[in-house]
Amino acid sequence: MTKKALLIASLMATTAFGFTSQASAQVALDPALKDYKPVSGVSGSIKSIGSDTLNNLMTLWAEGFKGTYPNVKIEIEGKGSSTAPPALVAGTAQFGPMSRPMKGAEIDAFEKKYGYKPTLIRGAVDALAVFVHKDNPIKCLSMQQVDAIFSKTRKGGYAKDVTNWTDVGVAGEWAGKPISLYGRNSASGTYGYYKEVALFNGDYKDAVKEQPGSSTVVQGVASDKFAIGYSGVGYKTADVRTVPLSAKEGDKCFDATPENAYSGDYPLSRFLYIYVNANPNEKMDPARAEFIKFIYSKQGQQAVVKDGYFPIVNAIADEDLKVMKLMN
């Protein structure tokens, strides 16, 4: 199942959306999303361990939720997607945000411990962006060129290694300048996703400067005029710009916009996930149940837009809530 097929199949209902023409390229919420309705008897604590990409968004959700339930204690820890599965297995976290799907071995370890699989929440849509310095004039890169820039194995099939900006047609101040590479470390789900999709499951070049977080990747690119890096589009700042990408050499390029993410035309579109330990034979405790409902509410998806990502549609919210037996 390709990422494009996943998004197209799951987001056909996006015709209800309205797109703004602002530079932020934010979207209007699906009008079918429901307002969150507070209930009584919600207390306790929630711990989230996992994705750095989702760290800011989990914090926004937590702040919104605590505004309604001040007695609920919420802790958010975002050190990388690979930290989520072991935390869920150990029971040290109730929520495991991940910027990639769990691997088979991670699901197996969870199921071995609990006797059922972890439940998947699709909380937002992301366009994993390829960033360059704001003054870089490059207009487009093919996925094969991206692979040749970042990978030493070039499994995408590009004819030659790309090491300087002239190799991808950038002239002027950039002509002949070596490309400075920024990326995430191996604990990151974004690292794994980019390796799988942008590097065609190839190997990163040793020259990639691995960063502990998404924001530090963007900061590195912003401070290095000849740099290129990748990060969730929600971390975009005024000091960097996104590079439009094409799936193949000679194909049309698409930028990291909501329209292109939802249609699957942007080659690095993906869901952002949250995994939860939900026993299908037991009723979920109120704190977890209401937090999940809040994520899928109009207020929860407004936080998605605020953080620079793209909201899900009500059809997905209803589908996931039904799986968890949380439909009102």
Q: Where are the domains of the chain?
A: 3-126+271-323, 127-256+265-269
Burial class, 132, CB count within 10 angstroms (exposed 0-12 / middle 13-18 / buried 19+): buried
Nearest partner of 273 among 246, 325, 231, 309, judged by Cα: 309
Q: Which of 10-24, 116-130, 273-287, 296-310 has the lowest mean pLDDT?
A: 10-24
- pLDDT value of position 297: 97
- pLDDT value of position 312: 94
- pLDDT value of position 227: 98
Interval 208-237 mean pLDDT? 96
Nearest partner of 256 among 116, 132, 123, judged by Cα: 132
Radius of gyration of the chain (CA): 20
Q: If pLDDT is split at 50, 70 and 90, which confidence band does 105 have?
A: very high
Phi-psi category of residue 80: left, alpha or beta, with phi > 0 → left and psi -120 to 50 → alpha: left
Could you tell me if 272 and 168 are in contact, meaning their C-beta atoms sit under 8 angstroms apart?
no
DSSP E strand boundaries for 158-226: 180-184, 209-211
Interval 136-152 mean pLDDT? 98
Interval 119-142 mean pLDDT? 96
Q: Is the pLDDT of residue 13 over 80?
A: no
- pLDDT value of position 168: 97
Give tens-digit pLDDT for 267-295: 999 999 999 999 999 999 999 999 999 99
On the question of a common fold for 3-126+271-323 and 127-256+265-269, the answer reads yes
Report the percent of the chain where pLDDT is more than 90.
87
Q: If pLDDT is split at 50, 70 and 90, which confidence band does 265 have?
A: very high
Dist CA 240 CA 182 (whole Å): 13
Q: Is the pLDDT of residue 43 over 60?
A: yes
Q: Any idea which architecture 3-126+271-323 has in CATH? A: 3-Layer(aba) Sandwich (3.40)
Q: How many CA atoms lie within 13 A of 219 on its CB side?
A: 8
Cα dihedral 25→95→103→262 (10° resolution):
-20
Interval 61-66 mean pLDDT? 97
- pLDDT value of position 27: 72
Mean pLDDT value across the chain: 91
- pLDDT value of position 212: 92
- pLDDT value of position 80: 93
The CATH number of 127-256+265-269, from 3.40.190.10, 3.30.1600.10, 2.40.160.40, 1.10.260.40, is 3.40.190.10
Q: Is the pLDDT of residue 313 over 70?
A: yes
Interval 182-198 mean pLDDT? 94
Q: Is the pLDDT of residue 8 over 80?
A: no
pTM score, two decimals? Answer: 0.84
- pLDDT value of position 327: 83
- pLDDT value of position 28: 80
Q: Which of 25-34, 89-98, 150-159 has the lowest mean pLDDT?
A: 25-34
Q: Is the pLDDT of residue 58 over 70?
A: yes
Interval 61-74 mean pLDDT? 96
- pLDDT value of position 23: 33
Map residue 200 onto helix, strand or coil: coil
Which residues neighbour 128 within 8 Å (Cβ) at sequence distance 6 or greater? 190, 193, 194, 230, 231, 232, 233, 256, 268, 269, 270
Q: If pLDDT is split at 50, 70 and 90, which confidence band does 177 have?
A: very high
Dist CA 296 CA 323 (whole Å): 13
Interval 67-92 mean pLDDT? 96
